[in-house]
Amino acid sequence: MDAPEMLSASARTLHTLPEDEPDLGAMRGWIETLLRDLPEDVVLDVLLVCTELASNAYEHAEGPRAVRVQRHTDFIRVEVDDHTPAELPRLGQSRLGDTRGRGLVLIAQLSRCWGTREFTGGKTLWAEVNA
């Protein structure tokens, strides 16, 4: 993966996630480089939100998977695509048991808004973090 440039306002970039095993460290490094001029607390919030969304895509959905980061003047939008359209997430609930399901609650707390969007053959989970 080539080192990305810093992401300027109104710019959008894509990172394809590995098919079999998540490389969340590489994804996080990519995001840190894109947002390196922002305050540390904003970058950490974006990293946590993106890590939760990507982890959910590996745990609950089929690939291929991709992450998009779009920078606006006052917020950062993170989108994660997967290819399992039928399983839309529910806040605070997990099919994996009662000790799970907190990731979206965390995303809801750190984000100004979040949601899902279906596309042919898959879905996108997205969240926006104030910058």
Locus of tokens 């606006």: 72
Please tell me the pTM assigned to this model. Answer: 0.82
pLDDT digits (tens, 9 = 90+) for 68-104: 999 999 999 999 999 987 666 665 555 555 555 678 8
CATH number for the domain whose boundaries are 12-130: 3.30.565.10
Mean pLDDT taken over the chain:
84
Mean pLDDT of 15-26: 84
Sign of the dihedral through C-alpha 110, 111, 116, 122: negative
Q: Where are the domains of the chain?
A: 12-130
Are the CB atoms for 34 and 2 separated by under 8 Å? no
